[in-house]
Amino acid sequence: MKPGLILLFLTAGIALISAANSTIQSMAPNTWLSVPNTKMRPLCPSEASCAGISAIEGCGAVVWSWSGGAFDTKRNRMIVWGGGHSAYMGNEMYAFDLDNLTWSRITNPTCPQTQYWDNCQDPLLDGNPAGRHTYDGLAYMENTDGFFAHGGSLACALGSSTRVTWLYNFATGSWTNKNPGGTKPGQGQAYCLTCAYDPLTGKVLMRDPYSIYAYNVSTNGWTTLNSFGTNWQDMTSTIDTKRRLFFTAGSGEWFVYDISANTNVTGQWSTSGGSAVISSGAPGLAYDPAADCLVAVANATVYVLNMATKSWTVKSAASVVPPAEHHGGTYGRFRYSPAENAFIFVNSVDDNVWIYKHTAGAGTSAQKSFTRGIAVEISAFPNPFSSTTQISLAGMEKIEDVRAGIYAVSGEKIKTLSMADFLKAGDHSFSYVWNGLDARNRRPAPGLYIFRTNFRGYVQTWRLLMQ
């Protein structure tokens, strides 16, 4: 049985509640965990099975050769994809599942042929994307349950750049060349692009040396938001969902963009104590919504940015720490897991996966129930949220079968939901937009709240983090 997995066998059916990993959630604050037996190397395809795939560096380049990752919040797992520029020819994707603490290879490689080495091409002849240095050009898009990729240095001798926008569909197990409209990022160069997914708008924000852009999957188009000329090397970005700020750090660059105002506010965010983060090449950088701060890792040292004082604090060295990052930087391979209230760090195919616990406590784990053979799934977007969040229920023939309410963590019910509150969102699905107000139309204090349903006698809960 997976750690933290609870199975409830009921007379009328089976309810499965997928909690998060108890080992991670029980970690003490400011500690690292090297997860035993979690090296990625055993999953790499062999040269014998895929001739020419190893190139110069082999499968290790998937991680350490200027390549990043993204965090799949729906499945609580880190996605890693990389290689490229004569270092490694493979284009396969890997995932580390935090529920069961194991690696899997999500896709198999397109085995290289002579023309792939000599001629840079994207897509490949089979329609899949070529392998590449992915830099910080990867993101998980919660609104479409897809893995986004744009830019990079292709897996060929020349390492030519690409400006193709790719989306991997986890449900169908297939890549799509989106061929979007608008001006695509990569003006001047498509190397070292940096991006972050904005859960409030459902868009990916991305920077190149000249401008900042937004990709809208609903319209399949790029929009140029504003132009900011900058120094350009290896950098990593994250979004502060509370203040609506897009942060970029690395290689001497510190850039802050106000998403709501569409303006460069770097001058208002001069920080102290973080020179090691800013000067390092593509540090790990992620926003912690539970603690409301930025957390960074550079050269195996953790730094935390206090958003009120705008000062970085070096966390005390723990007894067990990961090795220093490889030459290619970290990019998106240091990510926050909402389900664990912890950070995952993938540093090498030959090293265990590392977990960093910043603050104590559990996270907002995904939960699903299966009753009478009908899957009932709860989700909320955005979550965390500042003004409103849309709660969705799927898998019911009629909403009248459900009783629902919103509770404080103390157990006090703050709002009873009638079925008239829910709108039909599609076949067997319904949604409710909560504006954060209680039964008396008052806004309670920011914090953790519980959405609770009773479906045919089976109780489910979903955590909502109001900021």
244-292 per-position pLDDT tens digit: 999 999 999 999 999 999 999 999 999 999 999 999 999 999 999 989 9
CB 131 within 8 A of CB 91: yes
Q: Give me the mean pLDDT over the 193-206 stretch.
A: 93
Nearest to 6 by CA among 406, 431, 366, 439: 366
Percent of the chain with pLDDT strictly greater than 90:
57
List the domain boundaries for the chain: 26-357, 368-466
Q: Confidence band (pLDDT; 50, 70, 90) for 342?
A: very high
Q: 353-363 pLDDT, tens per residue? A: 999 999 988 77
Contact status, residue 90 vs residue 83, Cβ threshold 8 Å = yes
- Residue 156 half-sphere exposure toward CB, CA atoms < 13 A: 22
Spatial CA neighbour of 49 closest among 117, 108, 9: 108
Residue in the block written with tokens 């140029």: 224
- In which band, very low, low, confident or very high, does the pLDDT at 122 lie, cut at 50, 70 and 90? very high
Sign for the pseudo-dihedral over CA of 417, 419, 424, 428: positive
CA 58, CA 83: separation in Å to the nearest integer? 8
- pLDDT tens-digit readout, 387-440: 999 988 877 667 777 788 998 876 788 999 888 888 887 777 788 899 999 988
Average pLDDT for 173-181 = 96
Of 2.40.50.40, 2.60.40.1200, 2.40.40.20, 2.70.70.10, the CATH number of 368-466 is 2.60.40.1200
What was the pLDDT predicted at 18? Answer: 40
CATH of segment(s) 26-357: 2.120.10.80
Q: How many whole angstroms separate alpha carbon 323 and alpha carbon 349? A: 13
Tell me, what's the pLDDT at 20?
65
Total number of residues shown for the chain:
467
- Position 365 scores a pLDDT of 44
Which string of b and e fits 30-41 if b means at least 16 CB within 10 Å? bbbbebeebebe
Is 14 a residue whose pLDDT tops 70? no
Q: How confident is the model at residue 152 (pLDDT cuts 50, 70, 90)?
A: very high
d(CA 76, CA 99): 7
Q: What is the 3-state secondary structure (H, E, C) of 322-352?
A: CCCCCCCCCHHHEEEECCCCEEEECCCCCCC
Going edge to edge, which strands form the sheet with 263-264? 236-240, 245-250, 253-258, 263-264
The answer to whether residue 314 scores a pLDDT higher than 90 is: yes
Average pLDDT over the chain reads 86
Amino acid 112: pLDDT: 81
The confidence score (pLDDT) of residue 370 equals 31
> Do you find a cis peptide bond into 446, omega within 30 degrees of 0?
no
Q: Whose CA is closest to 236, among 197, 193, 203?
A: 193
pLDDT-derived band at 11 (thresholds 50, 70, 90) equals: very low
Instruction: Give the span between the Cα atoms of 293 and 309, in whole angstroms.
Output: 11
Q: What is the DSSP string of 16-41?
A: EEE---HHHHTPPTTEEEE-TT--SG
Q: What is the pLDDT of residue 452?
A: 84
> How many other C-beta atoms are found inside a 10 Å radius of the C-beta of residue 364?
22
Whether residue 106 is predicted with pLDDT greater than 90 in this model: the reply is yes
Report pTM.
0.77
Q: Are 26-357 and 368-466 the same fold in CATH?
A: no
**Which residue is it, tokens 């329609």?**
127
Q: CB–CB of 33/355 below 8 Å?
A: yes
* Candidate ranges 74-83, 186-195, 398-407; pick with highest mean pLDDT: 74-83
